[in-house]
Amino acid sequence: MQPGPTNGLTDVAGLRVGHAGVSGPGARSGTTVVLAPPGGAPAGVDVRGAAPGTRETDLLDPQATVARIHAITLSGGSAYGLDAASGVMARLERDGEGFAVPGAVVPIVPAAVVFDLGRGGNPQARPTADTGTAAYDDASPGPVRQGSVGAGTGAVAGGLRGGVGTASAVLPAGVTVAALVVLNAAGSAVDPRTGEVLGARYGFPGEFDAPAPGAPALDSAARDRLAEAYAAHVRSFGTATTLVVVGTDATLDKVGCSRLATLAHDGLARAISPVHTITDGDTAFALATGTGPAPDDARLVALQAAVADVTARAVAHALLAAEPAPDRPSYRSLVEVT
């Protein structure tokens, strides 16, 4: 395997990603949208966290009537942020994308949110339908911006700034699979004893510049800084939640997509400890654009295994791309990386 051209979700041809932030005093939140190709795509979902905030996920049940979705909205703002999907729906309706009904279309836009209320100081500075509209307008097939952007603007993981991360892989059979993650976890994506970014161990050679498995232990000052950040995080646990969108160009139905969403949670378990707690609403979506062939059993297993790897790598990229805030350190601000 090797990474795709941009090592991101948009390496799956036909997918577009856009971000928008909330502006104003005390704001630290935003929205990220993943747009399916024209006509939509089969999709699945798997919710493993105990405190999810979601919309339209029941439609992704393989037994449900609707066969395709047209976008996925990820947002900050806790349950209030679900309103961002309304802005995405309005844009899709304008563009004629949606489930056909007599005289109209109904865009199918599953959504999920992370808890970031008050991270910038004002709990009422949160995404609205206008934020979803702005994220839609920002969407492009180019390289995905990572770090403290979009739905990851106010994200926190283990006391450190979280954010948006992405990664991709091209399998030997030519199938592309990729993941986009909004890292906002109660648990930590770092081994505090060594400073290792847990998801980085699944990277390609040279992909990460973080401390590697088996690296010498951090000096005591760096170790103390990580421990202090995590301890402060534990004392102020609120609802967290990490979100994932997996994409592939393989031809899969809703059942196949649902299985990919399940495998994404394996990637979260590799890269975050603990994960799926009572304060997390961890949710994974998967969609298949179908420009490639339907895989046989052997290639399907390889695809499923790759999903866990790209998800873990996306978590690592989110942590490493995050920027420090005045009240919240980033990994790079605490650990010297060479």
Q: DSSP string covering 26-92, please?
A: T---EEEEEEPPTT-B-EEEEE-SSS--EESGGGGSTTSS---BSEEEEESSGGGGGGHHHHHHHHH
The burial of 247, by beta-carbon neighbours within 10 Å (0-12 exposed, 13-18 middle, 19 or more buried), is given as: buried
Model confidence at 338, in pLDDT bands (50, 70, 90)? very low
Residue with tokens 């006509």: 39
Q: Tell me which residue range forms the domain holding 87.
A: 9-140+150-334
Residue 145 belongs to some domain of the structure? no
- 186 or 113: which carries more pLDDT confidence? 113
DSSP code at position 2:
B
Q: Crossing angle for the helix pair 129-138 and 84-94, nearest 10 degrees?
A: 50
Tens of pLDDT, residue by residue over 256-276, are 999 999 999 999 999 999 999
Q: What is the CATH number of the domain that holds 267?
A: 3.60.70.12
Output the pLDDT for position 212.
54
Using an 8 Å Cβ cutoff, are 245 and 16 in contact? no
232 phi/psi in degrees, rounded to 5: -65, -35
Model confidence at 209, in pLDDT bands (50, 70, 90)? confident
Domain count, the chain: 1
Residue 4 belongs to some domain of the structure? no
Tens of pLDDT, residue by residue over 217-246, are 566 677 677 777 777 666 665 678 999 999
Residue 281 belongs to some domain of the structure? yes
Residue 49 belongs to some domain of the structure? yes
Residue 2 belongs to some domain of the structure? no
Q: How far apart are CA 242 and CA 30, in angstroms?
A: 15
Residue 162 belongs to some domain of the structure? yes
Average pLDDT over residues 165-187: 96
Model confidence at 127, in pLDDT bands (50, 70, 90)? very high
Output the pLDDT for position 191.
86
Residue 26 belongs to some domain of the structure? yes
Average pLDDT over residues 26-40: 97
Residue 30 belongs to some domain of the structure? yes
Q: How far apart are CA 30 and CA 152, in angstroms?
A: 7
Query: pLDDT averaged over the chain?
Result: 92
Beta partners for residue 239, in sequence order: none
Q: How many CB atoms lie within 10 A of CB 95?
A: 14
Task: Decide if pLDDT at 105 tops 90.
Answer: yes
